[in-house]
Structure 1
Amino acid sequence: MMNVIRLVELRDTPLSVDEVLAAVADSGAGGTAMFIGTVRDEDHRRAVTGLGYSAHPQATDQLRVVMEKIVADHDVRAIAAVHRVGDLEVGDLAVVVAVACPHRDQAFAACRRLIDELKAEVPIWKHQVFADGGSEWVGIG
């Protein structure tokens, strides 16, 4: 049996939707669900000019643990996740995750859980910079 966890990486270079989609291609999958997170231009009604992501040195290992739990609990044929670190601009891709399963409902459920648990459990922190000169850290504590 081929490895189900096909791509798990944090990187400081632009992300590719096509790369993640290709990583989860599987002839036994009838449904593939993907989530693409982008840097938006406002948060809390404040204009955002950019942000930076920082990650704990073991964040990739923790992401793999999250993915292993999802594979154990869902009928996953293939799963992939990549997250940016470093400085990003409005419109940049921040995270791309995908899950391929035999059926669409399984793919939707597993993909939703993947992005939710990534955000909750993987030590990646966001530093938002606002147009008014302020900034905030998100995900700390």
Structure 2
Amino acid sequence: MNFVQRICALALIIGAFVMPREQAMASEGADGLYVVVTTDNAQTQMMAMVLSTQTVQQGKSVRMLLCGPAGELAVKGSEQTMLKPLDKSPQMLLAGLIKNGVPVEVCPLFLPNKGAAAEVLIDGVTVAKPPVVAERLRADDIKLFTF
């Protein structure tokens, strides 16, 4: 199985656990993804970035919310883990997503509990507003992926 086939297989497996089958089938015509990343696992973070990048390349919209340990991805100078076969880090792919216009936010609890201000965030990342996030999550044309 080559790399692309592995990515596709993994995406299908993740999709089976992310949302019930009925919800996935009902949202096949979705215009985009709302990706919520909470894990500190670099491989899982990378998969979130790879699938988000592929979604953007296929002409669909992506919004990303980084919460808990995953918020560290948006902190300037955070430790990076290089992963094969791309020899890139999740932060590198995140930077590419931001460059391509993907809105990226950190949860509003992240910075206060880190004891930091918004200045520690990389360019293009903002702090989420819960009412706005809730509204976006309810949109009929958006699939929710959580990692």
After TM superposition, the score normalised by the length of structure 1 is 0.31
More strand by share: 1
Q: Scaled by the length of structure 2, what TM-score is found? A: 0.30
| Greater per-residue helix proportion | 2
